Amino acid sequence: MSINETPNVVAVVEGMVVKKWRTLASPEKLAEQLRRYFPSASIETAYESGFSGFVLHRILEKEGIHNLVVNPGSIEVAIHNRVKTDKRDALHLATLLEAGRLKGIRRWFKSGLQNKKELTA
């Protein structure tokens, strides 16, 4: 999925795109849509890290949806593919996620950590 004002979401199953949609930039709404569209599925999601931080990640994980936050610089890009759009990015992330070719950003701190002092304690 791409994260912006109206994120693009792409669902890929066994190499086929089964659903594409745009949604409001609301983590709760996205989790609700994923559960409604795929009620009995084991859902995995991924998005590029950015301004939104880990709020979406925490909400998806809390809802039982496995999520990866990915460093944009670590995503495979073909040399000849220089056109970058949110729709293409969402499809590319979904395809790489299904193929097991994405690595999530490691967070070396406890969930809910509030300040830097806790990092050194």
- Tell me, yes or no, whether 60 lies in a domain: yes
Mean pLDDT of 89-94: 91
- Tell me, yes or no, whether 66 lies in a domain: yes
- Tell me, yes or no, whether 81 lies in a domain: yes
Domain count, the chain: 1
- Answer whether 35's CB lies under 8 Å from 59's CB: no
Interior CA angle at 39 toward 44 and 29, to 5°?
70
Mean pLDDT of 107-121: 49
pLDDT at 85: 83
* Mean pLDDT, the chain, whole residue set: 83
- Tell me, yes or no, whether 120 lies in a domain: no
- Tell me, yes or no, whether 96 lies in a domain: yes
Distance CA 99, CA 15 (A): 8
Q: Provide the β-strand partners of residue 45.
A: 67
State the residue range of the domain holding 14: 8-106
In terms of pLDDT, which residue wins out, 115 or 84?
84
- Answer whether 118's CB lies under 8 Å from 112's CB: no
Distance CA 68, CA 102 (A): 8
pLDDT at 96: 94
Mean pLDDT of 97-105: 92
- Tell me, yes or no, whether 116 lies in a domain: no
Residue 30 pLDDT more than 60? Answer: yes
